[in-house]
Structure 1
């Protein structure tokens, strides 16, 4: 249960980071063709960092889960 909650939180953080990156353009507070406003730069940096860190944590979790599955498979194969 804890693992599902943690993965869910990481997915939400990842999606939130992606939204922060897209928001200035989707909502329209960054004028097309104009220099980036301070709010846009802030959203891009914060969203990129948030999405990047949460994605890295999801990859690390998936790698650990795969390693655990492989270890369990080896353990079952050795019992035969």
Structure 2
């Protein structure tokens, strides 16, 4: 149950990071063709960092889960 909650939190953080990257252009406070404003640069750095870190953590969690599954398959319990 705790693992499922953690994965859900990581997915939400990933989506929040993607929204931060896209929001200046979707909402429209970054004018088309104009130099990036300080708020846009901030959103790109923070959102990109958040999305990247949560994505890397999700990949590491998936790799660990696959490693655990292969370990269980190689050494089945006699229960």
- Name the CA distance, whole Å, in 1 between partners of 2:9 and 2:29: 28
1:62 Cα shift?
0.1
User: Shift of residue 72 of structure 1?
Assistant: 0.2
In the other structure, the counterpart of 2:2 is: 2
Give distance in 2, aligned partners of 1:73 and 1:29. Answer: 53
Aligned length: 78
Q: Paired residue for 2:16? A: 16
Q: Which runs of 5+ in 2 are unaligned?
A: none
Corresponding residue for 2:29? 29
Query: How does 1:1-80 map onto structure 2 within 5 Å?
Result: 1-76=1-76
Q: CA deviation at 1:13?
A: 0.2
Q: Aligned-pair distance for 1:9?
A: 0.3
Structure 1 residue runs of 4 or more that deviate by more than 6 Å after TM superposition = none
TM-score, L = length of structure 1: 0.94
CA RMSD between the two structures: 1.2
1:16 counterpart SS class: helix
